[in-house]
Amino acid sequence: MKTIYIVCGTSGEYSDRTDWVVKAFASEARAKEFCALLQATIERIQSAIRDRAKTFAEERALEEEMKRLDPKIESFWYDTTYSVAPLELDGVM
């Protein structure tokens, strides 16, 4: 069986927790690279929000950049994280 690698996003806690699939890759290395890009981008946004280091327009530009990478993102706050999950793909030789 072939293994694919799913990049997933998570936000919130307990009953407010949301999980979503961002993208799938045939290569584990590419999935981890994309996951690292997402995590670095969300951390820049979180830092800008927390530290008020950016203007409102700069924060919005960062959020738009994030939405291009992950169109399903709903929260830019401290608790959004990304990970890679392997998944066996049935029916592929």
- Quickly list DSSP for 53-93: -S-HHHHHHHHHHHHHH-TT----STT-EEEEEEEEETT--
Higher pLDDT: 60 or 29? It is: 29
Q: Is pLDDT of 87 > 90?
A: yes
Q: What is the pLDDT of residue 93?
A: 60
Q: In angstroms, how far apart are the furthest CA atoms of the chain? A: 51
Residue 50 in this model has a pLDDT that exceeds 90: no
**Residue spans per domain, the chain:** 2-88
Phi, psi at residue 71, to the nearest 5°?
-65, -20
Q: What is the mean pLDDT of the chain?
A: 87
Percent of the chain scored above 90 by pLDDT? 44
Q: Is the pLDDT of residue 44 over 90?
A: no
The pLDDT assigned to 3 comes to 94
pLDDT tier at 30 (50, 70, 90 boundaries)? very high
